[in-house]
Amino acid sequence: MCGIVSYIGPKDPVPILLKGLRRLEYRGYDSAGIALINKNNLQCLKKAGKVSFLESVIDDSAINGFCGIAHTRWATHGEPSDINAHPHLDLKKKIALVHNGIIENYGAVKEVLKKRGISFTSATDSEVLVQLISELYYNSKEKLSFEDAIRAALQEVVGAYGIVVICEDEPGKIIAARMGSPLVLGVGEGEFLIASDASPIVEHTRNVIYLDDNELVSIKDEKFSISKIDSKMIVNKTLTKIDLTIEEIEKGEFPHFMLKEIHDQRHSISDTMRGRFNLDDGTTQLGGIADYFANILSASRIYITACGTSWHAGLIGKHLIEEYSRVPVHVEYASEFRYRNAIIDNNTIIIAISQSGETADTLAAIRKAKELGALTLGVCNVVGSTIARETDAGIFTHTGPEIGVASTKAFTAQLTILIMLALKLGRKKGVSRQKGKKLIRALRHIDQDVSSILNISKKIKKVAESTWKANNFLYLGRGVNFPVALEGALKLKEISYIHAEGYPAAEMKHGPIALIDENMPVVFIAPQDESFPKILANIEEVKARKGIIITITDKINNSLKLLSDHTLVIPKTHKHVFPITCSVVLQMLAYELAVCRDCEIDQPRNLAKSVTVE
């Protein structure tokens, strides 16, 4: 969940590293630091707070060098502080390390090192690793090389890591290694970058190599070598060209990445669908799963596993796949599924959903399922990600990078993939061509629908301006729109810090109704479908208790107008496309409420974008 960037080459590394940290700040922003080597001298500066805090310190210093490492942190062990910030130095102040992940046995290793006279300055698990490397490098009887000391240290620790290490005794060398936390090597003209993802690299080169687990890369003299950590076996890997533009990772005219990404949905959903429809036959074409489609059709059960927003997408996917294919679908939090004795065999399909393709719990769930013989499918947004490489097959969303911590366009793209998958299965299992065509037509109209929703932003803003002081919100929906309520509540919690809960509307009477008074806004998801009379009855119940009613619907009538304090009308669409369009409204509402409360929208407190540690 932290951001790592390093550089070695002919250019001044300081501006490259600082700009890289700004690109990576969505991964963590409670502290940042930089370490450089210049003329056999290691310099390090680090500061609690955002990258801008570090920049202000660097502006007043004379730090410089020809290679360096940098880090922006999301705290796991030790509170955010100057001391706990990365890079961490060894006792001799000759080795610097940045680390993303968790060293699970750091306590035991720390005690051993303390007995050897090594003292510690921070409360982090990461410092243990740099001190261990130093002890092995400088004091082992075998007189290990710097690289071999790193290998030996990594074989003593348990956990997940992406690390980059430099040493003033090896001034022209950078070493990085990965086990469970992503690292990307950028290969330029006489220069190299290593980062947690491609965003800091794209400005310098589009040629990258994605490191796999148990791999170490050593860079020296304008050359690099990749090998296995444990065996030293050389690994030959081909360069991948990243398809990413600078414009995609910048805000442009928007005040926040989240607002930009909400607006991106005018085309990102269509980008995900492009080339995947067969309108004449009322079905979809999903090439990424074509080789395994017969296995999916014959499966006895399907599990969808994910975390956070992607889990909500999975709940909607369950409704759709079961309705269209009549196969039982179980939706599991990856963090629970990986530890549960689930019923899995070689006739089971696991669908893993992750925006980043690096989510630690989801990866662990995939690996467990594969061990038990299941077929694994990935739905993710990042080509080259670990989930994309470790699943048997998969379907990419094509939304471009999502920088805002609160997921928006990635969520609607995931829903789009799940709709297309459900339809493809359904057409093979008796769903009529006409029914398929109707759904496809609705999906093909979605750009216009999203544009229409963005045009009512002033109405959404007025709702926010009248409710932003509320301490609690309740979101209610029925059927396929219950998970939409969950997602709407999550968005509000993430960026505005207002407590919010999503519930099935019928369950309101089983507890939440006790909370409703004149200070409680209640958001009703009320499409004019078969569930509408029941939703209307729920609205009546809230009205009787003086709750503030915010209704999202696709058709206004007198009853809704009289009962609702605020009504947001969105375009009429297919009932299985409505969750997508409704989610855009909920994203806008959460955004406007966060603006009213003057919150850090793109970097909400305590959160990071990519959860790569358990």
Give mean pLDDT, residues 357-381: 92
Residue 613 has pLDDT above 70, yes or no: no
| Residues 433 and 463 reside in one and the same domain | no
For 158-213, how does the pLDDT look when each residue is reduced to its tens digit (9 = 90+)? 988 999 999 999 988 999 999 988 899 999 999 999 999 888 998 899 999 999 99
Q: Across all residues in the chain, what is the average pLDDT?
A: 92
- Catalytic residue, candidates 2, 307, 582, 599: 2
Its domain, for residue 431, covers 251-444
Q: Which tokens in the block code for residue 446? A: 């979605």
Out of 412, 444, 476, pick the residue that ends a domain: 444
| Residues 192 and 285 reside in one and the same domain | no
- Asked if residue 314 lies in contact with residue 308, where contact means CB atoms within 8 angstroms, the answer is no
Number of structural domains (the chain) is 3
Domain assignment of residue 383, yes or no: yes
| Residues 239 and 331 reside in one and the same domain | no
459 belongs to the catalytic site: no
596 belongs to the catalytic site: no
| Residues 113 and 147 reside in one and the same domain | yes
- Asked if residue 44 lies in contact with residue 89, where contact means CB atoms within 8 angstroms, the answer is yes
Query: What letter does residue 232 receive in the DSSP assignment?
Result: -
For 112-166, how does the pLDDT look when each residue is reduced to its tens digit (9 = 90+)? 999 999 999 999 989 999 999 999 999 888 889 999 999 999 999 998 899 999 9
| Residues 257 and 153 reside in one and the same domain | no
| Residues 558 and 582 reside in one and the same domain | yes
Out of 200, 220, 248, pick the residue that ends a domain: 248
CATH number at residue 137: 3.60.20.10
Comparing CA positions, the residue from 415, 399, 418 lying closest to residue 581 is: 415
Share of the chain above pLDDT 90, in %: 75
| Residues 415 and 462 reside in one and the same domain | no
CA pair distance 124, 613, nearest whole angstrom: 15
For 457-516, how does the pLDDT look when each residue is reduced to its tens digit (9 = 90+)? 999 999 999 999 999 999 999 999 999 999 999 999 999 999 999 999 989 889 889 889
Beta strands 472-477; 521-525: pairing state: parallel
| Residues 293 and 399 reside in one and the same domain | yes
Out of 248, 272, 299, pick the residue that ends a domain: 248
| Residues 411 and 281 reside in one and the same domain | yes
Q: Which runs of consecutive H residues, i.e. helices, occur in 183-341?
A: 257-273, 293-297, 308-325, 334-337
Domain assignment of residue 77, yes or no: yes
pTM: 0.85
| Residues 85 and 188 reside in one and the same domain | yes
Beta strands 566-569; 548-553: pairing state: parallel
- Catalytic residue, candidates 50, 94, 491, 609: 609
pLDDT at 391: 95
| Residues 218 and 289 reside in one and the same domain | no
pLDDT at 606: 77
CATH number at residue 552: 3.40.50.10490
Prior bond to 504 cis, omega within 30?
Answer: no
For 427-441, how does the pLDDT look when each residue is reduced to its tens digit (9 = 90+)? 999 999 999 999 999
Other CB atoms within 10 A of residue 418 CB:
26
Domain assignment of residue 613, yes or no: no
| Residues 318 and 418 reside in one and the same domain | yes
Residue 248 has pLDDT above 80, yes or no: no
- In the structure, what pLDDT confidence band is assigned to residue 301 with cuts at 50, 70 and 90? very high
Query: What letter does residue 518 receive in the DSSP assignment?
Result: T
Phi/psi of residue 386, each to 5°? -65, -40
- Asked if residue 392 lies in contact with residue 368, where contact means CB atoms within 8 angstroms, the answer is no
